[in-house]
Structure 1
Amino acid sequence: MTDSAVSSESSRQPGKPDKAPPGLWARSRVVLRKTLTVYLVVVILLAFLQRSLLYHPSKTKDLSVAQYPDVTKLYPDAQDARIECGDGVTIGGWLLRQNKDEKSNLVIHFHGNAGDRARRVSWYQILQQLDVDVLAVDYHGYADSGGKATEDTLELDAQATWKYATDKLGYSPDNIIVTGTSLGGAMAVYLTARQCEAKQPPAGMATIATFSSMVDTAGYHYPWLPVGAILVDRYPSDDRIANITCPVLLLHGNQDTVVPQNLGEKLFKAAPAISNSGHRKRWVNLRGAGHNDVIHVGRREILSELAAFQAKVIPAVPNKP
């Protein structure tokens, strides 16, 4: 062994690894910078595109109910509704009645984030068996409604729908049940909480496959994104539901992978245990039901639960306006 080799060996400190070549650290920094750059670009891109990912409206501009025999067969006295919102935008809707001369309660229904009111026939079939009238609307930017969908404009839709039902159509709040599926459930929570705070609550509220908040839902689907920092439309239903004083019914499929059941349970836990009228909140687990098939898989149980809920919160049948 040469003297230089001995010197090299003796210069190494026991227990410490050899230093990495300078080129390796340089390459690692380059890879890290590129990875962070790509991540930031993706975050910025999703921040700009978030509303196009959240709202999926149909572009159908002529939704006259007379064109939908599956609906008019269920509700022979079905009528088109044009509802003006607080920002001057008009949204489209249907007032579904089986017979204008009969007595009935009213269900205000808000659909999910995709399509339009014409694609909810399965839901109308369930409600038809409850002998209720139905007011179904499309949000800003959906189908034949003007404007653009945002959380703020959807809130205007909910407010205008309530005003239309009570002021123009003459339904009493005591004979109205507010319902919604998925994103529509968030609107049902918003409207019901708003009316409870105004001391004009509906008879009750029922939601299906609804989330605790959009922040929670987005965080579930994109755990690697800082959704709490970039999300614009947040729909904080778990905060709002605490202000609801009327009876509530929440139904959720236990196979839901779009809005997982634990987010529905979180919303339920945030609701007051007992309404001002003394009714306990109710949670229904729809076994075997996912998100998009919840109405079909859970049809029988949904009908049974809604019928019992209506009988509980509106024991007397009103005079129809």
Structure 2
Amino acid sequence: MSEAENDPALNARATPSGSGKRVRKLLVNLTVVVAIAYTMAAGFMYLNQRSFLFVPTGELSDPAEAGLDQVAVETVTMADGTQISVWSAAPAVEGAPTVLYFHGNSGNVSTRASRFKQILDSGFGLYAPSYRGYAGSEGSPTEVDLISDGREHFQAVAGLTDRIIIHGESMGTGVATAIAADQPDTDLLVLEAPYTALVDRAYEQYPWLPVGLLMIDQMPTRERIGNVRAPILIVHGTEDFVIPVEHGKRLFERAADPKEILIFDGAAHNNLWSQGLWPAVLDAWEKTKAEE
């Protein structure tokens, strides 16, 4: 028998101690628990992602109650039979454009009544659809369906007027850009607090998740805006913590000319209209007409 085999100290170092085994077992168990928790969290986010993205609330009110007597509430049927509510009004001034308005992810069309009043008071027309699954409309919202519906809405407006401004608000900027990229007859695209892509914003909020693999409705505006040939006005606020102003700046870089970006210092996500958004749109429209 060798001297090493009789040395208790060497044998102790060569044989794992009971405490070492317990530590390794604890680490393995902890890894398993973390993996299970992560998988459950990712699964929860995947299954419920649309409830986080699309947040319809409230009832569709009567436009007259908001002082919009000239606005009619129409029910239009999409190609697949889904019925959608639309607030619409013809231009009050001859030659004025109609604003095709795609609203944000929360509330409903009627919660934008004060904005619509500014549009109508300028003599412009209005065509504001309520998304699928939102107040007054059937179905469930998805990126594919909202864009498909948007194309049909554009054609409906084009059948009434030859001057169209597409306005996208927040989540609606992705829909608005997708439609403008497909429709060369768009006269002006207005993007209010836009994002480069919904999946980009999701990654910023959940960097620990593989959102690129999990997210269904990614809405890559950054990939579509370069195909827009209409003049583009981007409006954003420096204190927007819902969609940071860097998103608007990056979209502006990708957009083709003619384009303009207006950044309101101190403005947040939901108060751009009170900061002067609509006068900026009127100014952009005058520039568009001057270039015709």
| TM-score after normalising by structure 2 | 0.89
Deviation of 1:64 (Å):
3.9
Residues 36, 245 of structure 1: alpha-carbon distance in 2 compared, 3 angstrom cutoff: same
Letter of the 1:225 partner, please give it: L
Residues 316, 238 of structure 1: alpha-carbon distance in 2 compared, 3 angstrom cutoff: closer
Deviation of 1:282 (Å):
0.7
Residues 160, 126 of structure 1: alpha-carbon distance in 2 compared, 3 angstrom cutoff: same
> Aligned to 1:65, which of 63, 66, 71?
63
Secondary structure of the equivalent of 2:183? helix
Letter of the 1:122 partner, please give it: S
Q: Counterpart in 2 of 1:237?
A: 221
Q: Counterpart in 1 of 2:35?
A: 36
- For these two proteins, the number of residue pairs brought into alignment is 285
Q: Counterpart in 2 of 1:54?
A: 53
Letter of the 1:94 partner, please give it: W
Once the two structures are aligned, what percentage of the paired residues are identical? 25
Letter of the 1:283 partner, please give it: I
> Aligned to 2:183, which of 173, 195, 203?
195
Letter of the 1:89 partner, please give it: T
The question of whether the paired residues in 2 share the 8 Å contact of 1:94 and 1:137 is answered with: yes
> Aligned to 1:130, which of 122, 125, 130?
122
Separation of aligned partners in 2, 1:39 and 1:96: 50
Deviation of 1:65 (Å):
2.6
> Aligned to 1:292, which of 252, 270, 291?
270
Letter of the 1:281 partner, please give it: K
Secondary structure of the equivalent of 2:239? coil
Q: Counterpart in 2 of 1:179?
A: 167
* Structure 2 spans left out of the alignment, 5+ residues: none
Letter of the 2:146 partner, please give it: L
Residue 314 in structure 1 maps to residue 289 in structure 2:
yes
Q: Counterpart in 2 of 1:25?
A: 24
Deviation of 1:11 (Å):
7.9
* Structure 1 spans left out of the alignment, 5+ residues: 275-279
Deviation of 1:96 (Å):
3.0
| TM-score after normalising by structure 1 | 0.82
Separation of aligned partners in 2, 1:21 and 1:236: 51
Q: Counterpart in 1 of 2:84?
A: 91
Q: Counterpart in 2 of 1:277?
A: none
The question of whether the paired residues in 1 share the 8 Å contact of 2:196 and 2:220 is answered with: yes
Structure with the bigger RCO (C-alpha within 8 Å, sep 6+) is 1
